[in-house]
Structure 1
Amino acid sequence: MTAKSHSTPFSSLNDYIALPRVEGLALSPDGSRVVLTVATLTRDCTSYERALWSVPADGTGVPTRLTRSAAGESGAAFTAAGDVLFVSGRPDTAAEEGAEKGAGKDGEATQLWLLPAGGGEARLITRLAGGVTSIAAVATGANSLVIAADLLPSPVGLEAESLARKKRTEKKVAAILHESYPVRFWDHDLGPAQPHLLALDLADLHDTIARPVSPVSPDSPDSPDSPDSPDSPDSDSDSDSDSDSDSTSDAGAPAPYPADLPRPRDLTPIPARTMDTAGQALTPDGGTLIVAARVAEQRSGRYVLVSIDVATGTQTTLFDEVKVDFESPAVSLDGRQIAFVRSAVSTPDGPADQEIWVADLDGGNPRRLAAVWDRWPTSLTFDAPRDGTTTALIVTADHDGRGPIFRVPLDGGPPEQLTTDDFSYTNICVDAATGDLAALRSSWIAPAHPVRIGRSGAVTMLATPAALPDVPGTITEVETRAEDGARVRAWLLLPAGVSAQHPAPLLLWIHGGPLNSWNSWSWRWNPLLAVARGYAVLLPDPALSTGYGLEFIARGWNSWGAKPYTDLLAIVDAAKALPEIDETHTAAMGGSFGGYMANWVAGHTDRFRAIVSHASLWSLDQFNGTTDDSQYWQSIFSRQGLIDNSPHLSVRDIVTPMLVIHGDHDYRVPIGESLRLWSELAEHHANADGSTQHKFLFFPDENHWVLKPQHAVVWYETVFAFLDQHVHGADWKRPRLLG
């Protein structure tokens, strides 16, 4: 693959963050159009706003903008009638006076909206006090759908839940009582609300001149206080132990849930954290929901496959095995079969495989597909029927530094690779009429863009409001053999004008995961920004990387500091042997597992002039007890493995200048890792006056990633200033916004 060499948006960080970004894709039921979710920089350049765009699905035409609001829209999906559903925090102009929080006030909780296929304004579909988390599943042949929403654990009924939220807000109570593990996830505290799945029937959506606000009679079967109501509270559910005069007054009670909106029905009452699902799918008639539901187990949990009758809420467990997870369910277009991923829990002895299975809708006739294929599926959906019969799954998987689409036969035959280009594919949608696919695809020189894939694998680019930017330099592949004979490969991006007479400094960029692959575009980790500044960037897939088979992953299992490290050194040597590379000027960087490996590299070699360590693991025994899923990390390492592979034990051997970066809201790799790293760097390597060659860039309000546009600018400015100082000997230039 090649890229253009003239001036590009990657030469300026301000131009880079202003590039529009396609983040989602949905295909209409008739296959005629796709709806894209597109993020654009706000006028003050401090955040991104999202809008929905429609483009023809056949490669013709131009994009048409569908939505426009300050709050933005996301999570687009189509109803069976072709209406567009989305989630947004936009205000509801028809909301009655005195609506509760989450009823559409600007800046409040997000709700579900519907944009009619025939045209007209978008309209509100839900008014939940805590808002809607996402669209969980939509029926392709009925008016029903399922949404995900968080509800407080004690109140029963939507009105009682709304009142409980109001009381917490009025009393400024933020305390959370935990009764199980975990207590936080990624970048946010869990609770007090818990995840639920709620069914909606769009046939219950009514047009009115004015929204009814009068209370529903307690004697009515539709009343939330009626004994026959599915979410009827106990008679004392709203009582308080305090004596506040407004705690039970009518004036303090919320209005009844709007009668002209479909009333959400809770399919998962008393869920605790069981509705932290690993995917769900709805049958075409909307009658059955297949859920990968979490079963709590002491400090962890496993995912079981459950069938929920949408009409009654009755749950039937289809697949459940100890130390096995069942995830990513899909339902065939005829509603007769289900597909899912089955994976045993990995142990320190080695990684477990991820298996593709299919079964009848009721769980009967289960069978494994592609049993000898050791690629891990990243998504799966059923192919369109041919001559009335469904014969295959459409599966994406990491493969040799790409993310192609495969067709996996239901008869047990070998997978067929449908796309053979240098791209990775996501957001796969099947056109039920033709069997063609719509998807997003990307590579390291092309951000996500919409395409249509024919049954033969032919790819047609679709119109997009986010035109592909010109990128600097060229991209090629490098590979070598590790000491054990394993093939190790990488992408190498070279800046324009590089040659044997003008070689480029080499920047080793190590991916996170570690079960991951450098195979698709990333707005967060973008090597083209370094390429535009004259660096050759090496993106290797060492041991533990996905897309090369189970044995390749196992090479680094329970020994992160062994084969992954030597693989990196081997591929760096292969890159440095190229005439376009200046082997005397090299640096290394990485985030998450890449940050761990950057720390490991720092303590085990002096071959790099600078090392950048972002959101890194430093002391494995400390990390494993403080991360948001400690049981998993402790389960994949033996006790000795934690000791043998902990970077902090080599702190005295570090001689290379390090830039340490971390966000305080990072709960996956808690800030304590970098705090301890920084402390121990000072303990062992600071000068007598406290000065040091190392630096620590801290973001008090960012998480594992750095997502705010101006923070991204500061991140890259600091990284490039640090690299230029130590790789090129330039004077240190402090980024202006750091004061």
Structure 2
Amino acid sequence: MPWRILIILLALGSSSAAQTAPLGASGGTPKRPFTFEDMMKLKRLSEPAPSPDGKWVVFAMQDVDLEANAKKSHLWIVPAAGGEARRLNLTENEEERPRFSPDGARLIWTSKATDPTQIWMSKFSPESGGLDGEPRQLTNVSTGADGGIWSPDGKNIVFVSAVYPDCKDDACNKQRDEELKNSKVKAKVFDKLLYRHWMSYTEFKRSHLFVVSVEGPVAQQNAARDLTPGNHDVPPFNLGGQDLYAISPDGQEVAYTSNIDEVEATSTNNEIFLIPINGGTAKKISNSPGNDNTPLYSPDGQHLAWRSMARAGFEADKQTLMVYQRKLEQARNATAEWDRSVGSYVWALDSKGFFFTAEDRGEAPIWSLTLDAKQPTELARLHADDLAFGGGNQLFFSRASIEAPNEIWRQDVAARGEPAAVTSVNNALLSQVAIQPLEPFSFKGAENADVQGFLVKPPGFDPAKKYPLKYLIHGGPQGAWGNSWTYRWNAQLFAASGNYVVVMINFHGSTGYGQAFTDSISGDWGGKPYVDLMKGLDYVEKTFPFIDKEREAAMGASYGGYMVNWMLGQTDRFKCIVSHDGVFNTESAYGTTEELWFNEWEFKGPPWKNRELYRKFSPHLLAEKFKTPTLVIHGQLDYRLDVAEGLQLFTTLQRLKVPSKMLYFPDEGHWVLKPQNSRLWYKTVNDWVDQWCGAK
């Protein structure tokens, strides 16, 4: 063996030993295991907004008050070159969504100083990095204001408000809201689908875009003009991410996203529209039957880009980048030949290309693409989001990993330099706890395809010992595990709670491995993904002798909940199961969900047209085989997968006398978000797994 290779192997061995040595073995201060209380103390950064001169970054940072069972977000600021972050506005009011004016002299944000929220504004001093004078309320609409963006000329703000589509002015909206509030009758009459969505029933309102001048007293601001009147949502419902509307560089036009199909519950057909900022008739410029979204003008105003999916009704189709030549009124697909989905994106400052993120094998790297190229170039391999330029070639973004939540980073895209941290607000806490790295592996799964998985070891790991296993199964199903952070299914916390090895598999249907791999789960929910999970478990049992195959728990939510329900009727190899918000009866799940496009794509139509496929992969039809002790979890406000699915599963387990327990949240939806509910969730889940798989 050449000496150079031997030295490298010895170095790797030393590094591995250092990572897996018992706590405090290095001679330094012993690091303690990561706890739920630690996780609640972490600062939650989002929405980095660089100043146009590149000197500052303003961002929203959320703190959790566990005892008050509350989360509150405030605005913070940090030098763009890095340094100590500080509060920007010393107020008790909750604040979020900061946005600099084009000249950097003013700042707007959404404030909860009033109920409902409104847009506030203040002058900003680039020299001191502070607010200049007292902030003032910019909007005063009775239905509230959020999502504010500046027109590039600095004269107007476009924002979002949910209004009654038949109301012509704010007085009408205010009267209708007051009548509803004061009425003793709370019944609702529905005459079309999507009468409830995510975790709330309809209030018969529509999101509209409004425009308001930044000049003038607040008393005049309730005269904000509705740019998108009518009985359609602008923008459509979304769970965060990049804005679904933009203003042209000359400030004269607004591009926005909307779905105008007759039956919204079966349609993913969001379209891109243009409308003059002074009002007028909207013009549709997209033509894909799938989801077109997030329009963004080039800095020189010649082009408009947006993300696009080709297939109707498929929410996980490959997301390509369309480029529309405004003068010629022609669009082309800039990433048609690239087999990944575009995530957060920005135009290059010279308007000659793009920078964007895209999932790839457990990461979300930053890529660059020129307008004349067919394939992008990878700039940085990490897990990035929220891209934004500030100060020339400095690209700012949020970065997370399995070892830490979001911090703000930057990269000089001209020099192609290494990314550098801008904030480090969680370093002090994380330096005190034993955080474990993410260890990837791969194996041959269904149809002999390459499948990737990840492993996280417990703190103080000793390779000579045997450890029980928590086998986490992701939702989506078109989702993926990877080098990112989550507060809901946190691998670090699962590993540290009771000393478990945590394993996660990106089975057929996962994202970041090409569209064909993602497509392969549709119509095959209990097929290839189940084979991958069983072969993945075989692989880790054979490859990692420290895994105790007699103490393994399968755990999943959403599609992961479906899969563990499916496993109940397929195998007895797990000591226990945790099923959160999972499908139990595929036919009843169809009748109680809201986004019908999802079920109709995954099961190739409604039940009355393809009943055999629904029944082929329905866990409830295998109930006579259920034996594994199961914890069932469901939220009353989950309208994606109705609580009836969890109740049916628990009833079945109880009647079969299978050891079982149900954790029911009357005030949570598909995700458990309230701090004390989250604490109960983790305790109940970990106690259940310990009961069946814990220390002997």
Settle same-fold status: TM greater than 0.5. yes
Within 1, Cα distance between the matches of 2:174 and 2:236? 22
2:374 is equivalent to residue 413 of structure 1:
yes
Within 1, Cα distance between the matches of 2:651 and 2:237? 39
Correspondence list, 1:21-170, <5 A: 21-42=44-65, 44-59=67-82, 61-82=83-104, 83-90=106-113, 104=114, 108-118=115-125, 119-135=132-148, 137-170=149-182
Correspondence list, 1:639-658, <5 A: 639=610, 640-658=612-630
Choose 524-533 or 5-14, whichever is displaced more: 5-14
2:636 is equivalent to residue 669 of structure 1:
no
Correspondence for 1:616: 582
- The superposition leaves residues 40-74 of structure 1 with CA deviations (integer Å, 9 ceiling, x where unpaired) of 12373411111110011122x31120134444111
Residue number among 292, 300, 320 corresponding to 1:334 in the alignment: 300
How much does 1:176 deviate?
4.0
Correspondence list, 1:480-559, <5 A: 480-519=443-482, 520-533=484-497, 534-559=499-524
- In structure 2, the CA distance between the partners of 1:173 and 1:381, relative to structure 1 (3 Å rule), is farther
Correspondence list, 1:246-257, <5 A: none
How much does 1:594 deviate?
1.0
Within 2, Cα distance between the matches of 1:645 and 1:383? 47
Within 1, Cα distance between the matches of 2:94 and 2:662? 34
Structure 1 letter corresponding to 2:692: H
How much does 1:338 deviate?
1.0
> Is there any run of 5+ residues in structure 1 with no aligned partner, and where?
91-103, 212-257, 687-691, 731-739
Contact 2:366 / 2:379 at 8 angstroms: preserved in 1?
A: yes
Within 2, Cα distance between the matches of 1:177 and 1:272? 19
Structure 1 letter corresponding to 2:299: L
Residue number among 543, 552, 556 corresponding to 1:590 in the alignment: 556
Contact 2:316 / 2:478 at 8 angstroms: preserved in 1?
A: no
Within 2, Cα distance between the matches of 1:21 and 1:354? 28
Contact 2:66 / 2:676 at 8 angstroms: preserved in 1?
A: no
How much does 1:548 deviate?
0.2
Correspondence for 1:449: 407
Correspondence for 2:252: 287
Within 1, Cα distance between the matches of 2:650 and 2:93? 39
Within 2, Cα distance between the matches of 1:144 and 1:9? 52
Structure 2 letter corresponding to 1:524: R
What secondary structure does 1:121 align onto? Answer: strand
2:283 is equivalent to residue 316 of structure 1:
yes
- The superposition leaves residues 436-472 of structure 1 with CA deviations (integer Å, 9 ceiling, x where unpaired) of 2100011111111100012115101012434362443
Correspondence for 1:393: 354
Residue number among 661, 669, 673 corresponding to 1:703 in the alignment: 669
Structure 2 letter corresponding to 1:180: K
% identity of equivalent residues: 29
Within 2, Cα distance between the matches of 1:154 and 1:173? 21
- The superposition leaves residues 305-341 of structure 1 with CA deviations (integer Å, 9 ceiling, x where unpaired) of 11011112331111234x3332222111222211112
Correspondence for 1:267: 227
- In structure 2, the CA distance between the partners of 1:678 and 1:310, relative to structure 1 (3 Å rule), is same
- In structure 2, the CA distance between the partners of 1:671 and 1:124, relative to structure 1 (3 Å rule), is same
- The superposition leaves residues 9-55 of structure 1 with CA deviations (integer Å, 9 ceiling, x where unpaired) of 75432232222211332222222211121111237341111111001
Correspondence for 1:628: 594
Contact 1:194 / 1:271 at 8 angstroms: preserved in 2?
A: yes
Choose 329-338 or 440-449, whichever is displaced more: 329-338
- In structure 2, the CA distance between the partners of 1:111 and 1:200, relative to structure 1 (3 Å rule), is same
Within 2, Cα distance between the matches of 1:669 and 1:617? 7
What secondary structure does 1:296 align onto? Answer: coil
- The superposition leaves residues 326-384 of structure 1 with CA deviations (integer Å, 9 ceiling, x where unpaired) of 22221112222111122123579x97433221012357231111322110112222111
Correspondence for 1:307: 274
Within 1, Cα distance between the matches of 2:66 and 2:682? 21
Q: How many residues align?
A: 645
How much does 1:599 deviate?
1.0
Contact 1:408 / 1:414 at 8 angstroms: preserved in 2?
A: yes
Within 2, Cα distance between the matches of 1:529 and 1:559? 32
Within 2, Cα distance between the matches of 1:536 and 1:153? 53
Choose 271-280 or 13-22, whichever is displaced more: 271-280
Correspondence list, 1:685-704, <5 A: 685-686=656-657, 693-704=659-670
Structure 2 letter corresponding to 1:205: G
Within 2, Cα distance between the matches of 1:277 and 1:122? 30
Contact 1:288 / 1:307 at 8 angstroms: preserved in 2?
A: yes
TM-score if structure 1 supplies the norm length?
A: 0.83
2:331 is equivalent to residue 366 of structure 1:
yes
Within 2, Cα distance between the matches of 1:76 and 1:176? 37
How much does 1:145 deviate?
2.2
- In structure 2, the CA distance between the partners of 1:303 and 1:43, relative to structure 1 (3 Å rule), is closer
> Is there any run of 5+ residues in structure 2 with no aligned partner, and where?
1-14, 25-29, 126-131, 239-243, 605-609
- In structure 2, the CA distance between the partners of 1:347 and 1:34, relative to structure 1 (3 Å rule), is closer
How much does 1:663 deviate?
0.7
- In structure 2, the CA distance between the partners of 1:362 and 1:297, relative to structure 1 (3 Å rule), is farther
Within 1, Cα distance between the matches of 2:312 and 2:524? 14
How much does 1:647 deviate?
1.5
Within 2, Cα distance between the matches of 1:383 and 1:633? 38
Within 2, Cα distance between the matches of 1:294 and 1:600? 35
Choose 496-505 or 524-533, whichever is displaced more: 496-505
Correspondence for 2:241: none
How much does 1:426 deviate?
0.8
Within 1, Cα distance between the matches of 2:648 and 2:31? 40
Within 1, Cα distance between the matches of 2:346 and 2:291? 18
How much does 1:500 deviate?
3.4
How much does 1:185 deviate?
1.4
Correspondence for 2:206: 194
2:392 is equivalent to residue 434 of structure 1:
yes
Within 2, Cα distance between the matches of 1:451 and 1:726? 43
Q: Name whichever structure is richer in helix by fraction.
A: 2
Within 2, Cα distance between the matches of 1:143 and 1:280? 17
- The superposition leaves residues 192-242 of structure 1 with CA deviations (integer Å, 9 ceiling, x where unpaired) of 32211101221x234xxxx7xxxxxxxxxxxxxxxxxxxxxxxxxxxxxxx
Within 1, Cα distance between the matches of 2:37 and 2:317? 44
- In structure 2, the CA distance between the partners of 1:362 and 1:702, relative to structure 1 (3 Å rule), is farther
Correspondence for 1:560: 525
How much does 1:266 deviate?
0.2
What secondary structure does 2:53 align onto? Answer: coil
Choose 653-662 or 16-25, whichever is displaced more: 16-25
What secondary structure does 2:423 align onto? Answer: coil
Cα RMSD, aligned residues only: 2.3
How much does 1:492 deviate?
0.6
Contact 2:165 / 2:229 at 8 angstroms: preserved in 1?
A: no
- In structure 2, the CA distance between the partners of 1:621 and 1:296, relative to structure 1 (3 Å rule), is same
2:216 is equivalent to residue 205 of structure 1:
yes
Structure 1 letter corresponding to 2:674: K
Structure 2 letter corresponding to 1:132: A
What secondary structure does 2:539 align onto? Answer: helix
Within 2, Cα distance between the matches of 1:40 and 1:384? 34
